[in-house]
Amino acid sequence: MNIFISNSSTPATNRGLCWFRRDLRIDDHAALHHALIHHPAVHGVFVFDTEILDALPSRKDLRVEFIWYAIQELADEWRRHGAHFTVLHGRARDEIPRFAQHIGAHAVYCNRDDEPAAQHRDHAVALALQAMGIDFRQYKDQVIFEREEVLSAKNRPYGVFTPYRHAWLKKFTPADLQPHDTKPYLNRLAPGETRPLPPLSALGFDTTVLTELPIPLGSSGAARLLADFSQRLPAYDHARNYPAVKGVSYLSAHLRFGTLSIRQVAALAHSMTGAGPETFLSELIWRDFYQMILYHRPDLAQGHAYQPRFDTLPYPGSTAEYEGWCQAHTGYPLIDAAMRQLQQTGYMHNRLRMIAASFLVKDLQVDWRWGERYFADHLLDYDLAANNGGWQWCASTGCDAQPWFRLFNPVTQSERFDPEGKFIRRYVPELAHCPLRWIHAPWRMAEQEWLKYAGAYWPPMVDHGSARIKTLALYGSTSPSDN
């Protein structure tokens, strides 16, 4: 079913259709740029794809609302240029060919998406368009280097990050950051009147707490975030490790949904020198790396381990232990604080993602796939490639993963990266008045102190030392190492 389609007054001519997906902006947009330079009349369309929406576990989903606001701003920009932007609701594989035929499009333009489900959808769309005599043209937009652009000397995809990073940097030139400018051609947007966006309820969703969160929305919000981060970037290499500090970029959701161009972000890092910008650029290269891995290993999206020998690892962790982790009842304050941050905001600090994931897999011995799915359901910035890569890194089943005999000690990590307990107190108010000496491991207090300072909290689900021995046995070794 399509909704809120405005009829265009553009006469029949050489028309292009730009299909927006995870690139919800008008500036520096590869597909839109190419559509505009090849056609005198270009339509824009976004599909609220029911194949994606119907699979979501909740009718209150931060991501759907984030997209809704981004589309609202995008449609407003279209309107300011006297053009109309179309919103569809249905299966994209059906709606795009139908709408392209309806407007008499000569070609459909979009940016590539290498997630396996997206590739299957795009293949179906391409076949349907081909049967109608309509071209389907795709472009690189969400990464700097994609697919097979960075290969080893043996012409194979890298499975280890450091040599990939070296090859990436060797291949990179400033030309790779050149924007796909659209501004000189926006007079080619097909004229027409855009109707107001349908409310979330028309899509089957309810409003969330999104507008109460401190993340600015739309491409204009992304620009404000980037400007703010540019002032903090020099200290990024150190500050990024501390969840109680404003040290990270907070750009991940905007990069995920394309309200911000990856080229613009990488250009900022490239324009500055020092450990902060270099570390941040390395994080962007990790992003390319995981996208490349997923392209070459689509089976990862089906729950397979990157290292096949771990595919059938018999995790003994129980559903009850998994639920305790989900509900932030682990008894380890930093883990519980991290889980509550995710539940309340749809965001979790990157270091905490590693610590929380490691705890689930290597302290509770719960299958990493369960945690991967939980993050997929709750993260505002959820990205299949990065989420899978991160979980497999922590589980030691992935490419260039954390060695299986190394385990994060949740208390040591808490003491190191939340030394004053500020983050813990913010999200675990039961420990708000706990003395600093006990904040990272409150069970070590005497009974009287426990009742006074942590009576509403709970004891740890598991002893880390004992769990470590079990995990080393599970993975096949007892090599001593703990960080």
Indicate the pLDDT class of residue 1, thresholds 50, 70 and 90: very low
pLDDT tops 60 at residue 250: yes
pLDDT tops 70 at residue 113: yes
CATH of 308-475, picked from 3.40.50.970, 3.90.1200.10, 3.40.50.2300, 1.10.579.10, is: 1.10.579.10
Average pLDDT of the residues in 345-372: 98
Indicate the pLDDT class of residue 353, thresholds 50, 70 and 90: very high
**What superfamily does domain 1-140 belong to in CATH?**
HUPs (3.40.50.620)
Indicate the pLDDT class of residue 193, thresholds 50, 70 and 90: confident
* Beta strand 15-20 pairing with 85-90: unpaired
Bridge partners (DSSP) listed for residue 134: none
Task: Quote the pLDDT of residue 337.
Answer: 98
CA distance 273 to 465: 42
Arithmetic mean of pLDDT over the chain? 94
Each residue's pLDDT tens digit, 447-466: 999 999 999 999 999 999 99
Q: With CA atoms as reference, report the closest residue to 113 among 24, 223, 221, 186.
A: 24
Average pLDDT of the residues in 209-221: 97
Task: Quote the pLDDT of residue 400.
Answer: 80
Task: Quote the pLDDT of residue 13.
Answer: 56
Domain map (residue ranges) of the chain: 1-140, 142-178+221-296, 308-475
Q: Which fold has domain 142-178+221-296?
A: 1.25.40
Indicate the pLDDT class of residue 476, thresholds 50, 70 and 90: confident
Average pLDDT of the residues in 423-430: 98
Each residue's pLDDT tens digit, 123-142: 999 999 999 999 999 999 99
pLDDT tops 80 at residue 315: yes
Taking a C-beta distance cutoff of 8 angstroms, is the pair 365, 316 a contact? yes
First to last CA, the chain: 54
CA distance 124 to 111: 16
Task: Quote the pLDDT of residue 403.
Answer: 83
Tell me if residue 315 falls in helix, strand or coil. coil
Average pLDDT of the residues in 403-422: 94
Around Cβ 403, how many Cβ atoms within 10 Å?
A: 11
Each residue's pLDDT tens digit, 50-88: 999 999 999 999 999 999 999 999 999 999 999 999 999
